[in-house]
Amino acid sequence: MKKRNIVKTKRDFNNIINNGICIKNKHFVIYILDNNQNHDNFGISVGKKVGNAVIRNKYKRKIRNIIDIYRKDFVNNKDYIIILRSSALSISFQEMKESLILLLRKGAKNEENK
């Protein structure tokens, strides 16, 4: 994931969370908001309840890997905030990948129906 595709500031996170649509499942919560850029932006959040810094960074790397592999499933010109729930700690990487991709496809369908 390129640096220009990352949401970093608290103000941007809050804007996407407050104004975007929310889709969720057992392992993830995703907020999606339109942007007026020619690329999509991603923010990844893993709370302190999930574990210490080493574990949180490990799961962020896993999510970034899934994003890079399945880039085509993301709708362009959108901002995404992906929040990991603590229930995702008990599943394998394959299950995590399937859960995230399924949720993204559900979000794409919700955007088309708007």
Task: Report domain 3-113's class.
Answer: alpha beta
pTM: 0.88
Query: CA-CA distance, 8 to 43, in Å (whole number)?
Result: 7
Domain boundaries along the sequence of the chain:
3-113
41-46 and 28-34 beta bridge pairing: unpaired
> pLDDT tens digits, the chain, 114 residues: what are they?
566 678 888 999 999 999 989 999 999 999 998 888 888 889 999 999 999 999 999 999 999 999 888 877 666 788 899 999 999 889 999 999 999 999 888 877 766 665
Alpha carbon distance 10, 113 (integer Å): 29
